[in-house]
Structure 1
Amino acid sequence: MDDLTTLARRHLDQAKADPHGRSAHLFLHDGPLRQSVIAMISGCELDEHNAPPAASLQVLHGHVRLTGGTNRMDLIAGQVQELPHERHGLRALEDSVVLLTTVTATPGCPTPYEEATTA
């Protein structure tokens, strides 16, 4: 069993020592389910990237901004948000740690890529 508080502290310390200002750890991998702790120092950004079929972001510590297209949403510790299905990014507005939960495949539901290639 992993302790999220311990993981958050450890990875925030590692992010502060990292030249890129971040640290991440995939701690749960069960079939298509993934959970990762991501720590980022203030000002650090994760560039826009594609979204998995389903995902949520829970802020364990700090204040982050979720971006995507022209949308932006600020989240603080204790808040959880479904991630957009379009490209999105993340910026730490202060030293922050988030819990990213993703489902990389859903049985019987094609991904947008599969839908586009079979249409």
Structure 2
Amino acid sequence: MDDLTTLARHHLDQAKADPHGRSAHLFLHDGPLRQSVIAMVSGCELDEHNAPPAASLQVLYGHVRLTGGVDPLDLIAGQLQELPHERHGLRALEDSVVLLTAVTATHGCPAPYEDTATA
């Protein structure tokens, strides 16, 4: 069992030392289910990328902005948001860690999704 608090702290430290200001770790890979911790320092952005068939983003620490679509959406620690089924990006408004949960294939959508957002 992974401890999310420990993973979050570790990857935020890694992000602070990384020249791109981010660190990510895929810690659960079970069939089409993927869970990743993504840490980003303030001001860091993940460029717009395609959405998987189903996904959610939970902010474990900090404050992020989900971009793309019509209106940007700010999320803070403790909030959980379904990701849009369209291209989107993510910006850290302060040092932040998020938990990305993605389903990479669904019935009628057998092609695997490649997550290009992780570091």
Over residues 55-113 of structure 1, what are the superposed CA-to-partner deviations in whole Å (9 max), with x where a residue is unaligned? 000000000000113320000000000000000000000000000000000123567xx
TM-score (norm 1): 0.90
Task: Give the alignment's TM-score, normalised by structure 2.
Answer: 0.90
2:4 aligned residue: 4
- Tell me the amino acid that sits aligned with residue 102 of structure 2: T
SS in 1 for 2:2: coil
Other-structure match for 2:44? 44
Task: Give the partner amino acid of 1:92.
Answer: A
In structure 2, distance between residues paired with 1:9 and 1:81: 22
After TM superposition, which residue ranges in structure 1, 4 or more long, deviate above 4 angstroms? Answer: none
Q: Which has the larger radius of gyration?
A: 1
**Partner Cα distance (2:99, 2:93) in 1:** 16
After superposition, residues 106-117 of structure 1 pair within 5 angstroms as: 106-109=106-109
* Runs of 5+ consecutive residues of structure 1 not aligned to the other structure: 112-119
**Which residue number in structure 1 is paired with residue 75 of structure 2?**
75
Instruction: Report the AA paired with residue 12 of structure 2.
Output: L
Q: 1 or 2, which has the higher helix percentage?
A: 1
Indicate the percent of aligned positions where both proteins have the same amino acid: 90
Q: Can you give the 5+ residue segments of structure 2 that lack an aligned partner in the other structure? A: 112-119
What aligned pairs does 1:55-70 form with structure 2 within 5 A after superposition?
55-70=55-70
Partners of 2:110 and 2:15 lie apart in 1 by 36
